[in-house]
Amino acid sequence: MDRYHIPLSVLECMNRIEQNGYEAWLAGGCVRDLLRGETPEDYDIASSAPPEKILKIFDRVIETGIRHGTVTVMIGDFPIEVTRFRVDGEYRDHRHPETVIPVDSIEEDLARRDFTVNAMAMNLTGELKDPFGGRADLKSKLVRAVGDPDTRFSEDALRILRGFRFASVLEYTIEEKTLEAALRRVETLSNISAERIFGELIKCMLGAAPQSLEPLINAGGLLSAGISSGRKLELLAKIPPECSLRFAALCYLSDANPETVLRRLKSDKQISKLSAGIINELRLPAFVSKAEMKTRLSGFPPQLWKGIIETRGVLLGEDIAECKAWLTAIMDHNEPYLLRMLDIDGFDLIKLGFKGEKIGEALEKLLGEVIVSPELNRKKILLRLVEKHL
């Protein structure tokens, strides 16, 4: 187990559980990531210990989901979720089990999980429990449901989106029967909250293979969000992995309105605003000058400019080499493109006798001058321009 570089806090937690006569297994996504050579974001422990025993074993325990057998153990500042071996009771809403039932073995616990790559467990000695062939599927880069896929997806519809998310993030292929079952049950996604759909969709969109969504979209899986079809979604992977850029590209390729889509998904308003603005930009002709590029892109955060230019190249087939050179010059020389970047302000104009709307009009005219000729952005030069022309 040492070769996996597991944090000492996690090892200490497992060891103390075992010293008290109970089993402790790393389980789920952390085992998947360790076997892939990745560092897990968090560590979950499946244990034979009831949560009330965990409360006695450790000094600092948060009762995060005790009715489902889950508590969070704090080792220093490190949180570790510990859950008693369990199976799920009957699902009535395609999302949550009515009850959870304690069981005695890790094998039974793993049988309730969604995909084989998430249904593995490892103990302190490094022993691997892999009853469903998850390690083989890791090597084959397959997303395969545990047991009968129809059963897995009928239990929890969110697993449909999780399958596509894993395919995108891990660049895996969804196994044929698993994919067929997922697409048969896309209508059950109506049981999932818009916020959860948006969360899974974001992760999928930012993955290495966002085109994995295409079968789901074409089967009507995102109809409720306003996305009915997708074309050339393989282009999404070439778009810089930034949320508003990829959402704009998805909506552009799907002929969908980003404001409608993201409103229905109850997304962040800023993402919605940026995505809509990016699509409007994609509908405009190619940039013909550096000054025009500064004017058109001034409404976007500077960190998006390069991505917008690259998105035009990917989706519209434009030659963007010259635009990239312009962008480099703008950034390297801090060329002005906003009023606040002028080396003059309203107070300077008030001293010259400007009042009311005339102040804003004068500043706008000066900005137009320096956007074309950045070298004019010096206070003395701008004051002379004001006195001579305005």
Percent of the chain at pLDDT exceeding 70 = 96
Q: How confident is the model at residue 7 (pLDDT cuts 50, 70, 90)?
A: very high
Residue 299 in any domain: the answer is yes
* pLDDT value of position 13: 97
Residue 188 in any domain: the answer is no
Q: Kindly state whether residues 291 and 384 are assigned to the same domain.
A: no
Q: Is the pLDDT of residue 1 over 70?
A: no
Supply the CATH number for residue 18's domain.
3.30.460.10
Residue 317 in any domain: the answer is yes
Q: Kindly state whether residues 388 and 289 are assigned to the same domain.
A: no
Q: Kindly state whether residues 303 and 385 are assigned to the same domain.
A: no
Residue 329 in any domain: the answer is yes
Q: Is the pLDDT of residue 115 over 90?
A: yes
Mean pLDDT in the chain? 92
Q: Kindly state whether residues 127 and 51 are assigned to the same domain.
A: yes
Determine the average pLDDT of the residues in 183-200.
92
Q: How confident is the model at residue 6 (pLDDT cuts 50, 70, 90)?
A: very high
Q: How confident is the model at residue 98 (pLDDT cuts 50, 70, 90)?
A: low
* pLDDT value of position 342: 92
Q: Is the pLDDT of residue 91 over 70?
A: no
Q: How far apart are the C-alpha atoms of 119 and 27, rounded to whole Å?
A: 7
Q: Kindly state whether residues 20 and 112 are assigned to the same domain.
A: yes
Per-residue model confidence as pLDDT tens digits over 226-266: 998 878 899 999 999 999 999 999 999 998 988 888 889 88
Residue 146 in any domain: the answer is no
Q: Kindly state whether residues 8 and 84 are assigned to the same domain.
A: yes
* pLDDT value of position 381: 92
Q: How confident is the model at residue 100 (pLDDT cuts 50, 70, 90)?
A: confident
Domain termination site, one of 139, 171, 199: 139
Q: Which tops the pLDDT comparison, 58 or 384? A: 58
Q: Kindly state whether residues 294 and 352 are assigned to the same domain.
A: no
What length is written for the chain? Answer: 390
Q: Which tops the pLDDT comparison, 145 or 386? A: 145
Determine the average pLDDT of the residues in 261-283.
90
Determine the average pLDDT of the residues in 384-389.
82
Q: Which tops the pLDDT comparison, 160 or 265? A: 160
Q: How far apart are the C-alpha atoms of 330 and 167, rounded to whole Å?
A: 39
User: In the block, which residue shows the tokens 């400019």?
Assistant: 305
Domain termination site, one of 94, 112, 139: 139
* pLDDT value of position 2: 63
Q: Kindly state whether residues 386 and 307 are assigned to the same domain.
A: no
Percent of the chain at pLDDT exceeding 90 = 78
* pLDDT value of position 127: 95
* pLDDT value of position 21: 97
* pLDDT value of position 93: 59
Burial environment of residue 98 by CB neighbours within 10 A (0 to 12, 13 to 18, 19 or more): exposed
Per-residue model confidence as pLDDT tens digits over 338-359: 999 999 998 988 888 888 998 9
Determine the average pLDDT of the residues in 47-69.
93
Per-residue model confidence as pLDDT tens digits over 116-155: 999 999 999 999 999 999 999 999 999 999 999 999 999 9
Q: Is the pLDDT of residue 95 over 80?
A: no
Q: Kindly state whether residues 117 and 21 are assigned to the same domain.
A: yes
Residue 53 in any domain: the answer is yes
Q: Kindly state whether residues 53 and 113 are assigned to the same domain.
A: yes
Calculated CA dihedral for residues 207, 212, 218, 222, nearest 10 degrees: -30
* pLDDT value of position 177: 98
Per-residue model confidence as pLDDT tens digits over 21-43: 999 999 999 999 999 999 999 99
Picking from 303, 313, 308, the residue whose alpha carbon sits closest to that of residue 293 is: 308
Q: How far apart are the C-alpha atoms of 253 and 243, rounded to whole Å?
A: 15
Q: Kindly state whether residues 317 and 342 are assigned to the same domain.
A: no
Q: Is the pLDDT of residue 319 over 70?
A: yes
Residue 183 in any domain: the answer is no
Q: Which tops the pLDDT comparison, 131 or 65? A: 131
Domain termination site, one of 73, 107, 139: 139
Q: Kindly state whether residues 344 and 301 are assigned to the same domain.
A: no
* pLDDT value of position 386: 86
Q: How many domains does the chain have?
A: 3
Domain carrying residue 307: 284-333
Residue 379 in any domain: the answer is yes
Q: Is the pLDDT of residue 191 over 90?
A: no
Q: How far apart are the C-alpha atoms of 310 and 195, rounded to whole Å?
A: 29
